[in-house]
Structure 1
Amino acid sequence: MALYSIYPKEVFYEYAYNWSDFHQWGYRDGVVTRNADDYCAGQTYLDLYRINQDPNCIRKVKANLDMLVNTPQDDDWWWIDAVQMGMPVFAKLGATLDEPKYWDKMWDMYEDCRNKISGTGLFNQEDGLWWRDADFIPPYQEPNGEDCYWSRGNGWVYAALVRVLSEIPKDEKHYKDYVSDYMLMTKAIVKCQREDGFWNVSLHDPENYGGKEVTGTSLFLYGLAWGVNNGLLSYEKYGPFITKAWTSIVKDAIHPNGFLGYVQGTGKEPKDGQPVTFQSMPDFEDYGIGCFLLAGVEVYKMKQYE
């Protein structure tokens, strides 16, 4: 859908529409699911609704989020991937229907993940990075003694902040809080970029399965380029990080036939989905293409800085 926004080729729309229709505009575990991995699909349903205005596209999205809004639990997002899977659906539906109640619940669930899970929350503000879930909060540490900050997990949160800030108005009560977290992460992320433009799967331990990896790199690139395009980051300061990452992915990760290499497979930490190589085919690769397309679309929009 991001690619369609800059290159509205009919086959892209048809692919997304047919995929959504096949799943009956619903979720794996139905409209009563509380699992953000399930209702992440609502992001696409909402994008399609904005084009075709067919209320059937979002009937189940609304039913599901209304259930979440009207129940008191806020602790569903106990792992950081869920922030990206869940938050943008709330942000998009709130913007689509002009209903701030969805943004209020979104903040309550985000704040619980950020500050309360396991008593500490999963966001280490001192480092500007997130532990993947409670299993990785210290005393857990990487082989070099550092905290474990998984690249793709942090990339998901960074992308979530971008997708939320793209939807909510600047006078929304927590807009500045999201911007603050985005800036904290930005400063931490650029410190971790490798000389070759990629990011390691373990952001603070480059020796623990160190090497090129595309999903985390693409999500960081997406967030950085979006920040420049939307005036939160200066091109002069952050352009070199963006150029280095994009150039490296295109040069080192893409096969002549379009296959994307260096994609870490499913998991939750550096050791999962290894080895990550130019030739390796991950067990579930389509999110890798998605991360790359999100990044590519934002880099394309930066042509004004050329």
Structure 2
Amino acid sequence: MKKLVIATRKSQLALWQSEYIKAELLKHYPDMTIELKTFSTKADKILDVPLAKIGGKGLFTKELEIALANKEADIAVHSLKDVPVEFEEGFVLAALTKRFDPRDAFLSEKYASIDELPQGAVIGTTSLRRRMEIKLLRPDIELKDLRGNINTRIAKLKAGEYDAIILAATGVQKLQIEGEVNYFTPIDTELMIPSMGQATLGIETLDNPELVELLSVLHDKDAEIESTIERDFVRTLEGGCQVPIGIKATILDEKSVDVRAIVGMPDGSELIQENFVVNMDEYKTAGSKMAQEFIARGAKELLARAEKVAFQ
């Protein structure tokens, strides 16, 4: 291929990620012409409603898939945590990049960590998973919705609307805006288990073997192992991108993978949490096996109740 068109969202972070993929591809194919084409997704347009309430799958991906289907673009670059676990027929996840920092991060103008926040402090986040995990760490905290791109969220923090906000560490790091707040503190994944695929980029294409082969230079095997476990866990639980599920697989050595998972109510009142070490050879079945154990302990009923509460 002489020319490649990348479909991307318009946010600063999405553009950074697409430019990163372009630069990585040019290292391998210096003579290729690569251009970016921007699109607005449903999640970009509806900014006054929590994502969980908008509902539906592919809030960040659908319009990019339409561009691929219409041959307006060849590949789409996604944050893997936003990519539905089931693909429409004809689409494939062609490559996964090396994972960036998977942690959530605490941002505040006055306080260095969640522990330092005063009683009843206000934290901004709309993610049901983050709400659940904050409530487990600090039941006294008041949670307030927070939508918009990273810069908008930080501006709201600086305007004094929140005592602290929680964002994915990787987004802040990629845009190099850690210094815009007084305190930027990544949170250990043992304290706050991230979303499936957090900090990995997924490259989606139409099911075209030539294109998949071309993109294989971007593919990272470790990211594949970790995200396969994480996405299979969520798929088996039938949980979408907007439900309170945390799952993090971490490769320990060439034989074993540590997996931490949590499912619960957004207010932290009920939860199922488990830590497994699985055999590397079993990574293709480990996620769904773990999910079956969670289901046996009532995870599906718990998620159904969590969804009801979230949609009120």
Q: Which has the higher strand share?
A: 2
Relative contact order: is structure 1 or structure 2 higher (C-alpha 8 Å, sep ≥ 6)? 2
**TM-score normalised by L of structure 1:** 0.32
Q: Give 1 or 2: higher helix fraction.
A: 1
